[in-house]
Amino acid sequence: MEFKVHHILKNTKVEGPDTRYCIWFQGCSKHCPGCWAKDTWDINKGIKYTTENIINDILNTKNIEGVTFLGGEPFEQFDALFEIAHAVHNNNLGTLCFTGKNYSEIKEKYSKILPYLDLLIDGGFEEKNKDFSRPWVGSSNQNYYFLSDRYKEEIIKEYKNKIEINIKKNGAIFINGMGDFNKLVKNLKIHTQVTCKK
Ligand code: SF4
């Protein structure tokens, strides 16, 4: 099945417990004020993948504890989300999904995925409730739902918010994780040093 992806990181340590394969789904119609991920909003942008290719890639990626789904809004491409979550769960990988929807709506309309998610974090980013004190989230309205025994609630105290900076071969910089991105970008100073390697 084809679906649209904004970005993939195969080994990130800042989007959930341990080291994770992370998929940013393209497309979100919620448009929360202050959203940092505006370039994930337009479903006409992004890159087409097939769920089969992504599942194979995940299962061939070494040293990951699980997979994180975020975006964008993963539930706006529900069939693809369900297929991937089901496959990776059945291969004993952990699953964490972020959504801008509320848990009550997920239970009402998308409940068939819940047995295949270990942790769900609901609620879009709310600028007026900005709070970086809890891991992986940026505002106090967001809630953690532990849907299996795989992750314990204590991880909320064990993990801190962190940011990763990835520099691609073409020089593009991709920042992920959670923190005050606006402040980071404003203060980012890049120093380069050229060395002679004789
Ligand atoms: S739900 Fe998430 S991705 Fe969508 S607009 Fe809100 S913060 Fe941005």
Per-residue DSSP letter, 11? E
Helix axes 78-90, 51-59, angle to 10 degrees: 30
The response to whether residue 138 sits with its C-beta less than 6 Å from ligand 1 reads no
In a domain, 88, yes or no: yes
Predicted confidence at residue 112, as pLDDT, reads: 98
In a domain, 196, yes or no: no
Predicted confidence at residue 186, as pLDDT, reads: 73
Separation of CA 31 and ligand 1 centre (Å): 6
Q: For the chain, what is the domain count?
A: 1
In a domain, 79, yes or no: yes
Separation of CA 32 and ligand 1 centre (Å): 5
The response to whether residue 27 sits with its C-beta less than 6 Å from ligand 1 reads no
Predicted confidence at residue 34, as pLDDT, reads: 85
pTM of this structure: 0.91
In a domain, 198, yes or no: no
Predicted confidence at residue 74, as pLDDT, reads: 98
Q: What CATH number is given to the structural domain containing 63?
A: 3.20.20
In a domain, 21, yes or no: yes
The response to whether residue 100 sits with its C-beta less than 6 Å from ligand 1 reads yes
Nearest alpha carbon to residue 2 among 66, 83, 68, 97? 83
Predicted confidence at residue 179, as pLDDT, reads: 81
In a domain, 11, yes or no: yes
Predicted confidence at residue 166, as pLDDT, reads: 83
In a domain, 85, yes or no: yes
Predicted confidence at residue 197, as pLDDT, reads: 63
In a domain, 195, yes or no: no
User: Average pLDDT per run of 10 along the chain, which is 198 residues long?
Assistant: 96 96 97 90 97 98 98 97 98 98 97 98 93 95 98 95 85 83 71 60
Starting at the edge strand found earlier in the chain, the sheet holding 119-122 runs: 47-50, 2-12, 20-25, 66-71, 94-98, 119-122, 143-146
The response to whether residue 94 sits with its C-beta less than 6 Å from ligand 1 reads no
Predicted confidence at residue 121, as pLDDT, reads: 98
Containing domain of residue 66, as a range? 2-187
